[in-house]
Amino acid sequence: MAQSRMRSAGSLIGSLVGAAAAIALLIVAPWWLLLAAVLLLALWTVATRIGRQAWSVTEVGLATIPQRLGAASVVVVGIAGVVAVLVALLAMAAGFEAALKESGTDDTAIVMRAGAQTEINSVLDHDSATVVAQAPQVLRNAQGQPIASAELVVVAALPKKSSGLDANVEVRGVGERAWNLRPGVRIIDGRKFGSGLRELIAGKGAHEQFAGLDVGSTLKLNGQAWTVVGVFDSGDAHNSELWGDTDVVAATYRRGSSTTAVTVRLTGADAFDAFKAALTSDPRLTVDVKTTRAYYTDQSAALAKLIRILGVTIAAIMAIGAVFGALNTMYAAVATRSREIATLRAIGFRGLPVIASVLYETMLLALLGGALGAILTWIVFNHYTVSTLGQNFTQVVFAFQVSPPLLWTGLRWALAIGLIGGLFPALRAARQPVTAGLREL
């Protein structure tokens, strides 16, 4: 008695360790390793006698699913919920990160006043801006002018379409070289603003999120009427902004000839170190120099990390709930089939095909749930546009990005939940004494 209890405790610990190892494998293993594992499993199922037995027992199990649809859907829907929430939150983090990251490159650099951290905090006087633009590492255009844009970032409060409440939108005063600097910016409606005029063009994201930014509409900034003459798409965080002529924006915001930051295109990514060294050692300047990639990555890092942590935590708690749901369903499935399983054992089937068949069944249900959750998220949330408060005290508009790697992550979670939910009922099925099983109803 004591011995058999010891043995069952031993096998319980063994199966716990095995389950933990398998889950770890599912969550961290690279895709090719998993693919290899799946292929091996398929080979085992097809090529060995026990494998074929396992599959035929699984087929019998799967055939009974229509009779217990409610119980089976607990596994599917429970796992679909976990995967949907996980993928949606991770897609939100990815979308926010991408919107900001894509705004930066390694061969453009941003120069701000030392210590400013963000553009909105920075002030550069006209002389400093000129000194920065003249640095030898700055690329020049066909006319020999440096591709540098001294820009003025200010904030305007406009009503959001969703809530009607005022939210901050970033207004960027740009010079004529901004178009050289950011060749990816396209006008998708209307035209560019005219130099020296009170005209604005709205980024695609800002246009979607804020009211009153349609081409031809007027908005008041400090009592002056500005006309929206176009909508642009830059494919990055600038889509959250309004652009106008630097000098006119400066006049409205009483900024004189100062700007907030200078962004330059370097002769190459390798010129950055020399550029930074030249500016930081220049006694006329007190500035911080960053590549735009570093600048925008810093801005997204904290919030993206927070959303990821939240997403994984929430999904993990939901996963615990889903695991117990799956356990319930599969224990019930095993119990209703106990007579059939005992018969199989009595006519010579080993324990392994029985264990494998219960696991197969749970994993298939889990896979179905995972796919359902992932597809649902993809349909509802891919390119779903929202906005939140960014580092400049202004709204950053971004779209959820439901990418294949995230869907894959969701499927891994689904399989891990299925594995735990199936393993223990499978072990019970195999361990059940044959005589007791045959006597069941």
Partner 1 sequence: MKYLQLVWSAMFRRKTRTVFTLLSVLAAFLLFGLLDSVRSAFANAASSVAGVDRLVTVSKISFTMSLPKSLLSGIAALPGVAKVTYANWFGGIYQDPKNFFANEAVADNFFDLYPEWQLSQAERTAFRTTRTGAVVGESLAKKYNWKLGDKIPLQATIFPQKNGGNAWTFDLVGIYRVSNPKQKNQESILFFNWDYFDEARAFGNGNVGWYITQVSDRKLAQQVADAIDALSANSDHETKTQTEQAFNAAFVSQYGDIGLIVGAIMGAVFFTLILLTGNTMAQAVRERVPELAVLKTIGFSNHSVLALLLAESVLLIVFGGAIGLLLAGVVVDAVRAAVGETVPMTRVGAAIWLRGVGLMVLIGLIVGALPARRGMRLRIVDALAGR
DSSP state of 260: S
Q: How many CB atoms lie within 10 A of CB 138?
A: 20
Cβ partners under 8 Å of residue 166, min gap 6:
157, 158, 159, 160
Q: Pick the closer one to partner 1 by CB: 96 or 349.
A: 96
Total binding residues toward partner 1, as defined by CB under 8 A:
55
Interface pick for partner 1 out of 317, 346, 434, 436 (rule CB under 8 A): 317
Assess contact for 330 and 422: CB atoms under 8 A: yes
Q: Taking CB under 8 A as the rule, does residue 304 contact partner 1?
A: no
Q: Taking CB under 8 A as the rule, does residue 212 contact partner 1?
A: no
CB of 146 to partner 1, least distance (A): 26
Query: Which tokens go with 441?
Result: 């109803």
CB of 382 to partner 1, least distance (A): 16
Interface pick for partner 1 out of 26, 100, 110, 120 (rule CB under 8 A): 120
Interface pick for partner 1 out of 253, 278, 308, 384 (rule CB under 8 A): 253
Interface pick for partner 1 out of 144, 183, 223, 404 (rule CB under 8 A): 223
Q: Which stretch in 161-169, 194-202, 351-359, 410-418 sits in contact with partner 1 by CB under 8 A?
A: 161-169
Site for partner 1 in 392-431 (CB under 8 A): 393, 395
What sign does the dihedral 362-363-366-368 (CA atoms) show?
A: negative
Nearest 5 degrees, angle CA 22-CA 28-CA 29?
75
Half-sphere exposure of 108 (CA within 13 A, CB side): 24
Interface pick for partner 1 out of 19, 29, 332, 375 (rule CB under 8 A): 332
Strand 261-265 with 218-221, pairing: unpaired
- CA–CA gap between residue 270 and residue 395 (Å, rounded): 33
Interface pick for partner 1 out of 104, 146, 175, 325 (rule CB under 8 A): 325
Interface pick for partner 1 out of 93, 109, 113, 242 (rule CB under 8 A): 113
Q: Pick the closer one to partner 1 by CB: 201 or 285.
A: 285
Q: Taking CB under 8 A as the rule, does residue 281 contact partner 1?
A: no
CB of 221 to partner 1, least distance (A): 6
- CA–CA gap between residue 368 and residue 383 (Å, rounded): 24
Interface pick for partner 1 out of 195, 286, 309, 405 (rule CB under 8 A): 286
Q: Pick the closer one to partner 1 by CB: 353 or 369.
A: 369
Q: Pick the closer one to partner 1 by CB: 302 or 434.
A: 302
Does an H or E element contain 397, and which? strand 395-399
Assess contact for 300 and 96: CB atoms under 8 A: yes
Interface pick for partner 1 out of 387, 401, 409, 432 (rule CB under 8 A): 387
CB of 147 to partner 1, least distance (A): 28
Q: Taking CB under 8 A as the rule, does residue 211 contact partner 1?
A: no
CB of 116 to partner 1, least distance (A): 6
Interface pick for partner 1 out of 55, 179, 331, 384 (rule CB under 8 A): 331
- Residue 405 burial (C-beta neighbours within 10 Å; 0-12, 13-18, 19+): exposed
Q: Pick the closer one to partner 1 by CB: 5 or 220.
A: 220
Q: Taking CB under 8 A as the rule, does residue 371 contact partner 1?
A: no
Does an H or E element contain 90, and which? helix 69-101
Q: Which stretch in 97-105, 111-119, 173-181, 195-203 sits in contact with partner 1 by CB under 8 A?
A: 111-119
Helix crossing, 404-431 with 292-336: angle to 10°? 30
Residue 224 forms beta bridges with which residues? 221
CB of 4 to partner 1, least distance (A): 21
Q: Residue 242's closest CA among 263, 214, 272?
A: 214
The 3-state secondary structure of 158-210, one letter per residue: EEECCCCCEEEEEEEEECCCHHHHCCCCEEEEECCCCCCCCEEEEEHHHHHHE
Site for partner 1 in 10-69 (CB under 8 A): none
Q: Pick the closer one to partner 1 by CB: 267 or 328.
A: 328
Assess contact for 214 and 228: CB atoms under 8 A: yes
**Helix, strand or coil, per DSSP, at residue 399:** strand
- CA–CA gap between residue 186 and residue 171 (Å, rounded): 18
Q: How many CB atoms lie within 10 A of CB 299?
A: 24
* Interface with partner 1 (CB under 8 A): 70-71, 73-74, 77-78, 81, 84-85, 113-118, 120-121, 123, 154-157, 160, 162-163, 165-168, 221-223, 253-254, 286, 302, 314, 317-318, 320-322, 324-325, 327-329, 331-332, 386-389, 393, 395
